[in-house]
Amino acid sequence: MARVAVVTGGSRGIGEAISLALQEMGYTVAANYAGNDERAGEFSGRTGIKTYKWDVGDFDACQLGCAKVAEDLGPIDIVVNNAGITRDGTLARMDYQAWDDVIRTNLGGCFNMAKATFPGMIERGWGRIVNIGSINGQAGQYGQVNYAAAKSGIHGFTKALAQEGAKKGVTVNAIAPGYIDTDMVAAVPAPVLEKIVAKIPVGRLGQASEIARGVAFLCSEEGGFVTGSTLSINGGQHMY
């Protein structure tokens, strides 16, 4: 039986590329999404990948959603925590709701999904969790104290959980993308985007497929000796 993978935010952008890459590896993929029913339906019809709607920031919804995936497809062996939102603004302009929404979804979603799936992986002796961080969680970014805090938290969460799973055949890693050519980045004003690209040594935005290939390796059998790591895929924009 094919291993079952859940990709949160898996029906568009980087998540869509990850879902497709894991499907190509022979995994049975479930793509979680939060709200765009039309987009999810189009994605499912085009790819054959089942979609499941729930809010990753809601602990109980993650429990129920993962139980439904397991009932439909089998035990969940792989989780890619890709779902994320932005509510940008300087600290002076940011209200508590904007802070809480981002922490709840971007960081809380990783905890919620791990609580729903990690025990089963440990019991079965095999599992892969890949958390999608960000270059802005490594280097910081003006106007993103909430987003940078959440993504930085993901990197620490990854290292700690990796230590719990290492002897049980469960790896936990993170990928920190740089600026990728997605709808989110396309919404950035052109003059701002030009300045961003000018700071990327390879001279271009990344492609979602390039992030997906990194995820695919970490989710493979061959990736079993890699755990607690953060793979930076950013065109050289942030080196350390």
The catalytic position among 27, 33, 52, 147 is 147
pLDDT tens column, 24-54: 999 999 999 998 999 999 999 999 999 999 9
Q: 226: pLDDT confidence band, cut at 50, 70 and 90?
A: very high
Q: What pLDDT does 189 receive?
A: 87
- How far is it, in rounded angstroms, from Cα 30 to Cα 146? 28
Model's pTM, two decimal places? 0.95
Domain boundaries, the chain: 4-233
Active site (annotated) includes residue 147: yes
What are the residues whose beta carbons fall under 8 Å from the beta carbon of 9, sequence distance 6 or more? 15, 32, 33, 34, 56, 82, 83, 84
Rounded mean pLDDT of 71-83? 98
**pLDDT at res. 143:** 93
Question: Using CA atoms, how far apart are residues 184 and 38, in angstroms rounded to an integer?
Answer: 18
CATH of the domain spanning 4-233: 3.40.50.720
> Given this model, what pLDDT does residue 184 score?
75
The yes-or-no verdict on residue 1 having pLDDT over 80 is no
Residue 187: the pLDDT is: 80
125-135 b/e (C-beta count within 10 Å ≥ 16 → b): ebbbbbbbbbb
Q: Write out pLDDT tens, residues 118-152.
A: 999 999 999 999 999 999 999 999 999 999 999 99
List, as one string, the DSSP characters of 65-111: HHHHHHHHH--EEEEEE-------B-TTT--HHHHHHHIIIIIHHHH
Q: How sure is the predictor about 23, in pLDDT bands with cuts at 50, 70 and 90?
A: very high
For residue 104, give the nearest of 52, 56, 153 by alpha carbon. 56
